[in-house]
Amino acid sequence: MYVRAYRSALGLGLSLALMVSVAQPGQAQPAPRPETLQAGLSGRWSGYLEYRDYQSNEAFRLPMVSYMSVAPDTVTVTRLSSFDDGPQTGMVFITTTTLYGDTGATSAMFRKGRVVEVVTDQARVARAVDAVHWTVIFERDGVDGGQESHIRETETRDGDTLTRLKEVKPLGGEDSAYVFRNITVLSRAPSVP
């Protein structure tokens, strides 16, 4: 099941040809900054989280809701995401606040019962057609499943659909391929007048 979602995300999000608008003949405008594209995400999004379990290697799909808000400074993005992780765990709430700056995108992730996680990603725009059609790639070295890893998250917006694909590969395994870790596929909820 996750293979289908993974292929779909690749089709949507891994078109890495950078598309920029032309300001004048012969002069291309620089690509927008990641935080400029993220500024349009405020609102309620719903869909699902699909992930590969570390122990069983099985794929699980859970309904998910995310509320996103962008601060007036336009460089601070907060996401409150929730999903039901079954009868033993129950509802899970994850709050992530990301601050964009010249040194990357620094995020703090809060989840009940876990140590606060702080990471800094290198964020780059891989595709920018307009404000609602783009791909941003976040990359860092860190730990995934207890193993030192290269971590890559590819976020793609296609109108009212937002996909974020997380892939990992072991540090030192530069020749190895990235493998699927999880994906969220969300649709913007219509605004209520």
pLDDT, residue 192, reads 58
Domain boundaries, the chain: 2-20+29-188
Yes or no: say if 17 and 127 are a contact pair by the CB < 8 Å rule.
Answer: yes
pLDDT, residue 108, reads 98
> How far apart are the C-alpha atoms of 51 and 165, rounded to whole Å?
10
pLDDT, residue 65, reads 97
Mean pLDDT by 10 residues, the chain (193 residues): 42 34 52 90 96 80 95 95 88 96 94 95 95 96 90 97 96 86 93 59
pTM for this predicted structure: 0.80
Yes or no: say if 73 and 63 are a contact pair by the CB < 8 Å rule.
Answer: no
Tokens of 56: 């069983």
Yes or no: say if 105 and 138 are a contact pair by the CB < 8 Å rule.
Answer: yes
Q: How far is CA 43 from the centre of its chain?
A: 16
Q: How far is CA 58 from CA 54, 136, 150, 162, 181, in A?
A: 8, 28, 22, 24, 11
Assign domain 2-20+29-188 one CATH number from 1.10.1060.10, 1.10.357.10, 2.40.128.20, 3.40.710.10.
2.40.128.20
pLDDT, residue 76, reads 96
Cβ neighbours, 10 Å, residue 17: 7
